[in-house]
Structure 1
């Protein structure tokens, strides 16, 4: 495809009346062969019939030009000014036609591709736009010729465009994502392949621009799906609050943070009193609803304190309280105990109260922290609360710090 359009388009010879080559352009040799040199006879340069026709013309001493077509070449012979010599212009018609065809194909491609093709000058003015650009943006080519990028792209102003142009000149070609605003005010996400072009001494940005609305919709859906998968992986299915995985991750983050700041870290372990007999007496559906209601109030109270409530397993819950000392943690635990009691969930099989109650163990620890000791220590405080009669809050000594080195 490219090969057929290569080669010189024009060449020039000077011959005398006898048909002897007096002078020749270097381009003549690729077109007529290596015999087309000064001193050669036209009979050795042109095919027989064409040479005869040209020599006949020369012999007639005509004062007008003559045209001869042969083998994809067009030969124009005309008298030179002054003297007995003739200018012979040779045009490669095949190459010319091939180049014209390629030009027409290029023009058709530019106008029919679905991607926008936009030429911008160094000031960001629209120099050329194809049909796709007009269709997408809603402007005519004439309207766009009076606009600049800063009029169409909400992310560009004059300063940003100048920085962008310096980037174009330096990097030559790269891809960016941005937004174009259509004539009716619709924002369209686009991908722009930037290309620096130096043409006839002028600098341009020839951009191939693609509407990526569908891609962005897909990306948004995938992001939402991934976020939902992540949320589900850290959320307890039954209660909707954080699960053990989420709690473990947040506890590790809090421990790292508090190890730097030196703030106290408190944790509350909560157990619904006599939950097994609640289930046995009222059924698992009632038990599930009880868990959901208790989880909801614990989550609300912990969040208000900047902490996290999580279902630890079964009827046990954990509340993690950052920057909370002993007094603050005990107060939050009592709030949890009171809030659950105020739910007034009937518990006819309870040996503690007529409604659902909770027991809570509270532990406040300081650096250096030891996560395993924290969980063991708060579990011990909960066990104390249950052993001492349930429906109570027990706050024990700091057993969550790492043991001192010996």
Structure 2
């Protein structure tokens, strides 16, 4: 028995090694075909099934080289091979879809090879199916690589033991230890080989990813672009559905970008540092991993919001710049366990690259901002004196564009007299490494494109890279500075001349060993005092002042030496002088004092006269009957007694210092401010105007006020003179009222009280113009009391006047409600003006007048028409024309009236029909 077993093992072992060789060959071929899919590549279902079919084919191939154990060894017949390893490989590549497909291919291949379906086949097929289900499930649920392979090995070993025990019974244990050992060795070998291939592939893909990422970084414009690119690319690399960039500050963090399900958006929200649970770890520069949020998740405000949105796994990657975390790349997935230690190791390799690119982009940005500065020019040249960099400032200084300057010789900006010296200096520096202007700022001249030579300040440095010498220069246009220096020199000379020829005296003195010594003396006052400059410089105050005034000078000088600025007056030889002492300090200590002495004898006399003039002025304004206010910057500074009285005060102090707008009603504040502004700007005066002031008790006071700009105590101010206008306004209102009554009386007929002919003529001209502007109709009615002379002869003139009044009042009562004008035209004749009325309306209104007058029933026995007073009416209408004065309309009405009288009176006749 032992001999037969040994013979069987000798038969089995070479074939099993052949199985291992086939596995290795398949791995190499599979890697060549699918090298980019071996490490966590997201397969589609179709791809997984295709991979399973390939591995199933591998299993069939392994069966061809399998070992059939004969009955002489185990008392039965069975096929021993490594197709289970093919199943485990399929599980590693595509999970359950791959293992099921591979298992189906293997079972089908076994059936084709065997040609019959017996108990051994069914047992083997069941084992294959169980192994396919188990290894596929393990691949999808156990994340750890080695734990997964170990679990698959245990499962396959158990399945194989069960299958062989079913087929051979206890005889299977004769071959099982050897088979399981070789299976384990083969699995370890294949797993290690795959692990190595995965690592190589991951490194290759990571290097390719980094290379591509660097290319995108180089093409970006700013640091913010780097954040966006990093988020996009890492989301793709780690198959993350959710992500974001958060910028980290000292006290808070701010969102920059968001990505969710491939949709990218900007984010400007601000969060507290506690908003991200992993913040402490991240600020220390370490990656934070939360593989499965269902078991452990961060507890920040942002994290809770993401958890509610379905995030179950997250990876938080710090971006480090200058030793501190400046941003966080947050990646999330809705699948628990999506991120593992493998992603952490990948991210750890990326952090230095990302941090370096941040530093490079920041340096590039700073360099770009410097070179694009429009003030100083930056020029880089090589050892051949060819320009290799030309900044925006250089463009502005010399007039050459970057395209024109780069590649051109440096002498295009060097004036002709300096070119030979520049050439020799370059040769000397390249030969000896020494340069007279290297490393320091010198003043030279530059040459613009238009041929203009201008002064420049040049700061030159050199360095070498790759064995090539380069020179960098910062060039500043100092034209203005040179001009300023010349102006300063000129001003210094002018100041010296001014000090020497000025009327006063300028002294400088120091305190040397408790004694004041003059160090400078300039001014015409020296000669007036009978002194020379040499008499004062180096001497003490005793030289300048008398013994009587010496103590005063020494006291004041000591105060100035202690840092006090002061002025004092003194007298010499009958003149009055003013001394101003101004200490000059350096590093907190007085080093000298400048004394300016001016002759103020004349000014003192003027001031005395001015004081007397001001006193006379003050007395004068107190005697004026009008109120006077003087205010500067809207604050009252001077008032007289009359102003206090008019404004209801008792003392000047009640008004001094008050805002002048307090005396103006609120509705007039804006107008008052505008008037004050105009007075100040134009230094003008405002003539008397009626205004309303507010008394101190709040009552209004009607005044007449005028204002003007004045100089008060050396500054601009406004003086307002006002008087009580209450009585005057009342008298004027009465006068206006009387004039209005007179105007009305002049427009009315004295007898009848209605409008007279003058009033009618004015109204007619006005209405004609108005109607002509819009081409509107206008009508007039002329009417006459029939047989009025006979009425006067019969009843007397008093009765005639009464009749005229009654007819006039009737006419007015009919016209006024309609907007018409009734007027006495003369004697017993009246007229009516009908604006907007046409011929029909005029005729109807004329008939109304006839009937109404007749119905008055005023007796008239001598009337030729009726036994009562009647009227005859003539009407005329026209469309007003701006080219005509309209007098013909009245004439037409008069003719119509005449016709009405001829036709028997007491009737209406219209002109033209």
TM over 0.5: yes
- CA distance in 2 between counterparts of 1:125 and 1:330 reads 73
Equivalence for 1:130: 640
What residue number does 1:39 align with? Answer: 530
1 CA distance for matches of 2:661 and 2:843? 59
SS of 1:188's equivalent in the other structure is strand
Larger Rg: 2
**1:367-386 alignment to 2 at 5 Å?**
367-368=880-881, 369=884, 371-386=886-901
Q: Is the 8 A contact 2:765 2:885 kept in 1?
A: no
Q: Does 1:107 align with 2:621?
A: no
Give the aligned length: 338
Q: Are residue 174 (structure 1) and residue 665 (structure 2) matched? A: no
Contact 1:152–1:180 under 8 Å retained in 2 = yes
Residues 293-343 of structure 1: CA deviation (Å, up to 9, x unaligned): 222222232222222211111010110010011222223223323443344
Structure 2 CA distance, aligned partners of 1:395 and 1:313? Answer: 21
1:173 touches 1:196 (CA, 8 Å); kept in 2?
A: no
1:115: Cα distance to partner? 1.6
What is the rounded CA distance, in whole Å, between the counterparts of 1:96 and 1:125 in structure 2?
25
Q: Does the Cα contact within 8 Å between 1:264 and 1:323 map onto a contact in 2?
A: yes
| Separation of aligned partners in 2, 1:117 and 1:109 | 11
Query: Contact 2:692–2:700 at 8 Å: present in 1 too?
Result: no
- Residue 291 of structure 1 pairs with residue 834 of structure 2: no
Separation in structure 1 between the aligned mates of residue 768 and residue 653 of structure 2, nearest angstrom? 64
1:192 to 691, 694, 706: 706
Residue in structure 1 matched with residue 223 of structure 2 by the alignment: none
CA shift, 1:395, in A, is 2.3
| Structure with greater proportional helix content | 2
- CA shift, 1:236, in A, is 2.0
Match of 2:849 in 1: 336
Change (3 A) 1:335 1:119: farther
Q: Is the 8 A contact 1:239 1:295 kept in 2?
A: yes
Q: Which runs of 5+ in 1 are unaligned?
A: 1-10, 13-22, 29-35, 41-60, 66-76, 399-406
Deviations 1:78-108 (A, max 9, x none): 87549xxx95264679766644432222221
Question: RMSD value over aligned CA atoms?
Answer: 3.8
Please tell me whether the aligned partners of residues 239 and 291 of structure 1 are also in contact (alpha carbons under 8 angstroms).
Answer: yes
Q: Point out which structure has higher relative CO (alpha carbons under 8 A, 6+ apart).
A: 1
Aligned equivalents of 1:245, 1:273: Cα separation in 2: 24
**Structure 1 residues 274, 148: closer, same or farther in 2, change over 3 A?**
farther
Pick from 188, 204, 212 the counterpart of residue 717 of structure 2. Answer: 204
Q: 1:169 to 1:94 in 2, by over 3 A?
A: closer
- Map Cα deviations across residues 135-194 of structure 1 (whole Å, 9 max, x no partner): 112134444457545443347444333333332233322225122243362431312223
1:269 alignment partner in structure 2? 782
CA distance in 1, matches of 2:546, 2:770: 101
**1:131-280 equivalence runs, <5 A:** 131-140=641-650, 141-145=652-656, 148-154=659-665, 156-176=667-687, 177=689, 178-182=691-695, 183=697, 185-195=699-709, 197=711, 204-213=717-726, 215-217=728-730, 219-280=732-793
Deviation of residue 265 (structure 1)? 0.5
TM-score normalized with structure 2 length? 0.33
